[in-house]
Structure 1
Amino acid sequence: MEISSFLLPKDQVAYITNSLSMLEALEQLEQHHYTAIPIIDNEGKYVGTLSEGDLLWKLKNTADLTFDNIGEVPVSDIQKHVHNESVLINAEMEDMLTLAADQNFVPVIDKEGVFVGIIRRKDIIEYYTRNITD
């Protein structure tokens, strides 16, 4: 089964651009109650995922960085410690299970790499649960 029927489209997903500041990214995570958020570039292409842990490591490991000046640090300067692998929109659900074991969500892209949405781990688990118990 193609994943497109499980897609939570981009217009229903919170995401950030890599030009936002660390403060703006933190505010987005807080506002949406996320622990991680997709990052796209100015062309709309998926470039990675930013996690709360990434923000904490940046704060801990950068001399003189405080909550007062995190607005000066662009997201592009923050090292990402986890790589959330993306999949093409025409991928099959069978491709999702392994990814869902390690990712809260799977970013979905088109053939040009443009971010089109996510598949949530919850939806993947529910799909497999229904198919195993049927």
Structure 2
Amino acid sequence: MIAKSIEKMLSENQEHFLIPAEMVANVQENNFLDHALLVLTKVRYAKIPVLDNDYKFKGLLSLSMITETMLGLDELDVSKLHEIYVKDVMETDMPTIQDPYDIENVLHLLVDHPFLSVVSNDGSFTGIVTRRELMKSLNHIAHEFEKDYTVQAIETKEEK
């Protein structure tokens, strides 16, 4: 359980954690991999959300998923990229969160994921919460905590 004072300070910045959907690069599940490769290369992200035609979240696509399809025995074969759909190689088994989200859950999930996709009740993609944005908030807390709270060490048995 997160200490109440830390949770309070994190909650004060919670609205800044969400990067809205319109600011997040994505591809559609029916795009071909050659298009997805261009998008990933242009935005310089390792992984991006995959949406359907109704902007419902479907999964994630990474550069490594695309390059895996290009691997041949002796060389890279890019000729298949315009024949394979994003939905054929995307990752579909990943955690998502709904807004409003539980900060403690987000902290646990961001240990293993650089960002979490935020979806509405109907599955619409509303944005992402990134490890970077949360770390900025934790950095703020680390520097400002004692301005708002008095910290007193508890004596341990060894110190008594």
Q: TM-score range by the shorter chain?
A: 0.7 to 0.9
Which residue of 114, 125, 129 corresponds with 1:115? Answer: 125
What's the CA shift for 1:79?
Answer: 4.9
Alignment of 1:1-134 (within 5 A): 1=11, 3-60=14-71, 66-80=77-91, 83-133=93-143, 134=145
The DSSP-based 3-state class of the residue aligned with 1:102 is: coil
**C-alpha distance in 2 between matches for 1:97 and 1:105:** 11
**C-alpha distance in 2 between matches for 1:31 and 1:83:** 26
**C-alpha distance in 1 between matches for 2:141 and 2:104:** 12
Structure 1 gap ranges (5+): none
Greater relative CO, 1 or 2 (CA 8 Å, sep 6+): 1
Greater Rg over alpha carbons, structure: 2
In 2 relative to 1, CA 130–75 (structure 1 residues): closer, same or farther, beyond 3 Å? same
**C-alpha distance in 1 between matches for 2:61 and 2:90:** 9
What's the CA shift for 1:3?
Answer: 4.2
What is the root-mean-square deviation of aligned Cα atoms in Å? 2.2
AA paired with 1:94?
A: E
Contact 2:16 2:133 in 1 (8 A): no
Kindly provide the CA deviation profile for residues 51-90 of structure 1, in whole angstroms up to 9, marking residues without a partner as x: 111112222279xx8212311111111153x844110011
Kindly provide the CA deviation profile for residues 82-132 of structure 1, in whole angstroms up to 9, marking residues without a partner as x: 844110011022221112111121111111111001111101112223234
Question: Structure 2 length normalisation: TM-score?
Answer: 0.73
Question: Structure 1 length normalisation: TM-score?
Answer: 0.86
AA paired with 1:57?
A: E
Aligned residues: 131
Structure 1 residue ranges, 4+ long, deviating more than 6 angstroms after superposition: none
**C-alpha distance in 1 between matches for 2:142 and 2:78:** 48
